[in-house]
Structure formats: C-alpha cells, structure tokens
Amino acid sequence: MKTWEKYNKVTRIMVPDENLVRFVQKTFPDFKKRKKIKILDAGFASGRHLVYLAKQGFDVRGFDYSNESLKFAKNWLKKEKLAIEVKQADILKLPYKDNSFDVFIEIGMVEHFFSGDREKAISEAFRVLKPGGRLFFIVKKTGDYLEGAGKKLEKGTYLINESFIKDTPYHFFDKKELKALLKNFKELDLNYTILTRNNTIVEIHDWIAIAKK
C-alpha cells in the first residue's frame, strides 16, 4: 500500500496506453454508439484512461485503493470538467454488482499480486462483467529484463527495485499460467509486446490479453 501511495505521488502518466487505444478503436469504431458502452478502469492511478475514454465518448468509471491516486485523478477530472464516478476500492472485493460492465480494464496491477490474490482479482473482474463483456488485461511476461532481478518470493515472483516502483513483488507470467488464470473467459486473444531500450540491452515484455465473459 505504501508503495502505491509513493508511486501515485510522483508518477504522473498522462497519456493513454497505445495498446488500449488500438483496442477501443478496433472494437468500438462508431463514436456515436460508445455512450452505451460501460467501462470499468481498475487501479486507474493518475486517471489517464478515465480522461481518455470519457473524451472518446464512453461511459467510464473507475477505482483505485490509493488516496494519492484518488486525489490526483479527482483534481484532473474536475479540471477537464468530466463528471466520472471514481471509488476507493480494493479489486479483491469490488463494490459493483454482478454483470454490470461491457469492458473491464486492468493494466499493470495484478502483476504485483501473489498467487491466490491474482485468481481472486480475475474472478472479481469476471463477476462484474456482463455476459459477452470484455476483459482488457496487461501484465508482465517472462523474458522481461526485470525477471529474476531481485529476491525470489514465490514461483515466478520477485521483489524488484526499479525506478518507479520500489521493493514491490512482480510476477512474470508464462503463457500456460496466463491461460489458466483466464480459463473462465472465452475467445482469448493473447498477444505480447517487446520494447527495447538502451541499444536493445533492456527488453520489456508484456502480455496483452483480451477475452470475453
């Protein structure tokens, strides 16, 4: 929790994730129909996807459990004159009804959870999605430069110290376990990105999973 308060105090990512931009454009090309699409952004941090998706015409809301995140995002939404419902909530026990959302977005949160909580978080996402609703999920992939770069805490999970996120568990998913985690979903579209930095010395590997309830 302390990690996330610090993170949300200094890390202000203000532009949307390009994979999410592509996903919404491809899945919901008709701007006029978007106001009927109910999206939940899990762990919104700065609120970058709340702002982006609202401006793109969607009915979006979100939650985060960090005070700093709530403070920053509420302020930003106010400046943008966007009336969006934001809640302080834990993904492990969500204050939303079953079958409520057309899209559930989870980017970069569940990769910090231990086994058991990863499954709980995904079952909450499944519960609040409408039948036919879509999960958009980004997590770390095996092969990432940070894998193994800290004390091993569990199988595939290491205590990592990196620039933004200090002393935090990171789990690196392989394909088999990611498929097992998402086994209750159908039409799984599983892809990954590899970004290189520092003349390709650093490789950042992420899964991008899209699936339907």
Where does this chain bind ligand SAM (CB under 6 A)?
4, 8, 13, 17, 43-46, 48, 64-66, 69, 90-92, 107-109
Q: How far is the CB of 32 from ligand SAM (least distance, A)?
A: 27
Nearer to ligand SAM, 91 or 209 (CB): 91
Q: How far is the CB of 44 from ligand SAM (least distance, A)?
A: 6
Nearer to ligand SAM, 57 or 108 (CB): 108
Q: Which of 2, 10, 64, 13 is closest to 74 using CA atoms?
A: 64
Q: How far is the CB of 88 from ligand SAM (least distance, A)?
A: 8
DSSP state of 90: B
Placement of tokens 């459990």 in the chain: 65
Nearer to ligand SAM, 45 or 135 (CB): 45
Q: Taking CB positions, which residue lies at the least distance from ligand SAM?
A: 43
The CA-based angle 106-107-110, given to 5 degrees, is: 75
Q: How far is the CB of 199 from ligand SAM (least distance, A)?
A: 26
Nearer to ligand SAM, 62 or 133 (CB): 62
Q: Which of 126, 153, 127 is closest to 137 using CA atoms?
A: 126
State which H helix or E strand residue 140 sits in.
strand 129-140
Q: How far is the CB of 138 from ligand SAM (least distance, A)?
A: 8
CA distances from residue 17 to 48, 87, 105, 137, 172 in whole angstroms, order as listed: 9, 22, 11, 12, 20
Q: How far is the CB of 122 from ligand SAM (least distance, A)?
A: 12
Nearer to ligand SAM, 28 or 137 (CB): 137
DSSP 145-182: TTTTSSEEEETTEEEE--SSS-SEEEE-B-HHHHHHHT
Query: Would the CA dihedral through 195, 197, 201, 206 be positive or negative?
Result: negative
Nearer to ligand SAM, 56 or 69 (CB): 69
